[in-house]
Amino acid sequence: MFRNSKEAKTMSENIHHNQHEVEHADGMIDGISSLPDGVLHHMLSLLPTKDVVRTSAVSKRWKNLWASVPNLDFDDTLLYASEVDHIHSPESTSFMNFVERILRFRDTSKIEKFRLSCRVCFNSSRISSWISSAIMYNVRELDLCIFADDSSVIPQSLFDCKSLVILKIEMDCVLVFPPRVSFPCLKTLHLSLVTFADDDSIGKFFASCLVLEDLVLLDCDCINLKNLTISSWTLKRLTIDDIPVYEPNGCKIKIDAKNLKYLKYTGYLPNEISLSNAPSLVEASIHIPILNGRQKEVACRAVDLLKGLQNVVFLRVSNCTMECLIFAGSMLARFPVFPKLTHLVLTMEIGDYTFGAFMDLFNFCPTLQSINLSEGFDQCIELGENDSVWSPVPICISRHLKTLTFKNFHANDSEICFLKCILKYALVLEKMDIWWCTARPRDKKERDVMKELEMIKRCSTACVITFP
């Protein structure tokens, strides 16, 4: 670019000269005003719109920046503070006028991201017009949280939006779609709290998202559904979160996603979920807490879900898996084997009640290389070296296990016994990482424990024990 360093130097002198940094009497420089528009827009797009608009009064340089900031973020949370009748209060009207004025005085033809949260202030036709404006500005990312009675507040033009890449809707009502839906560019879809209307329309809706890659369903209500098929050629990530729903529902959810790589499920399985076609699934995170009164039913549904995870390589599980093994009873014969599973993370404390099941689990993971007990053991657990769980030693522990991570370590007898057994039997163990619990003991005790563990006779001489 420069033929010699002299040219480079002249160029740099010019740049400094043009920087027009204002130096004040007290020697403090206003560096920020001399940043290029692009940087300031990027910075302003990280602020809620009310803060952005405030900058227009700072100085001449800032006066018109706000009108072309690519992102808009309107949140009526500030209205919560007042105790008055929100729907008709003057604050509510001011908020609505504020949004309209900003949309009217846009300096540019595009909006990158539009976020609207209306939990308090509500006027269906005005909100609908704001969303329409955003769509006319070719919005790329739309994030709506609207506490409305019905979904008519969403303009029809949304369902035909050619520019939309990310759509997030949080609405506690029945979501009704128009007969024709078209999302040619939509890659990410998050639906929260919505109630689906019927099998047909929701099936058509998912089918019209031709390039969908990431789908998140949070607390969605399937009460009107009998058979829901989520069918997508392009879907890579699916997250379903059902946590507040305890009552079983009759809906069968089938996932037909040839390219699905990641599945996360959290809840009590009120609906039956099964993966009818997910050969590419590599990573799964399944968290099903214990639900008193429905254990066996949930365990059976969990086994069906786990069956679809056969090719998984990374698996994070919690209580459910242990419960499945305890309650599934005769279904145990149908418990899936995970032939490719190499990394297992357990996200809850193992107790006396679940330790047997935990050890049984290893019979279903023949090639397991890494175990992470991210919550360690329950403090009341009682283990001994001659417990029956160690005869025979699960194959994966003796032949494949390379890494063991043990967190929430209290250095009590059972924990040390467990670690002793692992060291005794794991032929190819390379690393054992032990993380102290929050109440870390004082240095001397810590050193004593570390010494004790170092002294244990180990089957794999290459094994290194670390205390990160």
Partner 1 sequence: MTSSKTIVLRSSDGATFEVDEAVALHSLMIKHRIETGGADSTTIDVPEVTGNTLSKVIEYCKKHVEAPNSDDLKSFDTDFVKVDQAVLCHLAKASYYMNIKGLLDLSSKTIADMFKGKTVEQIRETFHIKNDFTPEEEEELRKENSWNLFV
- Cα separation of 225 and 250, whole Å? 8
**DSSP H helix total and E strand total for the chain:** 12, 22
Which segment (9-17, 176-184, 308-316, 449-457) binds partner 1 by CB under 8 A? 9-17
CB of 143 or CB of 256, closer to partner 1: 143
* Spatial CA neighbour of 270 closest among 296, 251, 289: 251
- Cα separation of 94 and 267, whole Å? 41
Q: Which residues contact 122 (CB under 8 A, 6 or more apart)?
A: 86, 87, 146, 147, 148
Instruction: Give buried/exposed letters for 355-368 (b at 16+ CB in 10 A, else e).
Output: bbbbbbbbebbbeb
Q: How far is the CB of 50 from partner 1 (least distance, A)?
A: 4
Which segment (37-45, 142-150, 283-291, 355-363) binds partner 1 by CB under 8 A? 37-45
Looking at residues 92 to 131 of the shown chain, list those that interact with partner 1 (rule: CB under 8 A): 94-95, 97-98, 101
* Spatial CA neighbour of 418 closest among 461, 451, 371, 367: 371
- Cα separation of 321 and 357, whole Å? 8
CB of 5 or CB of 292, closer to partner 1: 5
Q: How far is the CB of 70 from partner 1 (least distance, A)?
A: 13
- Looking up tokens 């704001």, which residue turns up? 130
Q: Check the CA dihedral 17-18-23-27 and report its sign.
A: negative
Residue 60 binds partner 1 (CB under 8 A): yes
Q: At 100, give phi and psi (nearest 5°).
A: -65, -40
Which of 55, 92, 163, 342 binds partner 1 (CB under 8 A)? It is: 55
Q: How far is the CB of 33 from partner 1 (least distance, A)?
A: 6
273 is written with which tokens? 């979920």
Which segment (27-35, 189-197, 380-388, 440-448) binds partner 1 by CB under 8 A? 27-35
CB of 69 or CB of 263, closer to partner 1: 69
Which of 57, 81, 333, 455 binds partner 1 (CB under 8 A)? It is: 57
The answer to whether 283 touches 237, Cβ cutoff 8 Å, is no
Q: Which residue type is seen at 373?
A: L
Residue 39 binds partner 1 (CB under 8 A): yes
- Cα separation of 311 and 338, whole Å? 7
Which of 17, 18, 38, 83 binds partner 1 (CB under 8 A)? It is: 38
Residue 53 binds partner 1 (CB under 8 A): yes
Q: How far is the CB of 407 from partner 1 (least distance, A)?
A: 13
Q: β-strands 262-266, 237-241: how paired?
A: parallel
- Looking up tokens 């503070």, which residue turns up? 81
- Cα separation of 67 and 45, whole Å? 11
Residue 135 CA from chain centroid, whole number: 27
- Cα separation of 217 and 374, whole Å? 26
Residues 239, 245, 250, 255, Cα dihedral to 10°:
0
Residue 233 binds partner 1 (CB under 8 A): no
Residue 29 binds partner 1 (CB under 8 A): yes
Residue 9 binds partner 1 (CB under 8 A): yes
- Cα separation of 226 and 233, whole Å? 23
Q: How far is the CB of 150 from partner 1 (least distance, A)?
A: 29
Residue 11 binds partner 1 (CB under 8 A): yes
CB of 100 or CB of 272, closer to partner 1: 100
Which of 15, 81, 439, 455 binds partner 1 (CB under 8 A)? It is: 15
The answer to whether 180 touches 207, Cβ cutoff 8 Å, is no
449 is written with which tokens? 């424990």
**How many residues sit close enough to partner 1 to count as binding (CB under 8 A)?**
45
Q: Check the CA dihedral 225-331-319-362 and report its sign.
A: negative
Which segment (10-18, 202-210, 360-368, 379-387) binds partner 1 by CB under 8 A? 10-18
CB of 22 or CB of 464, closer to partner 1: 22
Residue 136 binds partner 1 (CB under 8 A): no
CB of 44 or CB of 305, closer to partner 1: 44
Which segment (45-53, 295-303, 374-382, 448-456) binds partner 1 by CB under 8 A? 45-53
Residue 333 binds partner 1 (CB under 8 A): no
Looking at residues 63 to 82 of the shown chain, list those that interact with partner 1 (rule: CB under 8 A): 78
Q: How far is the CB of 3 from partner 1 (least distance, A)?
A: 11
Which segment (88-96, 109-117, 331-339, 386-394) binds partner 1 by CB under 8 A? 88-96
Q: Which residues contact partner 1 (rule: CB under 8 A)? A: 1-2, 5, 8-9, 11-12, 15, 22, 24, 28-36, 38-39, 42-44, 46-47, 50-51, 53-62, 78, 91, 94-95, 97-98, 101
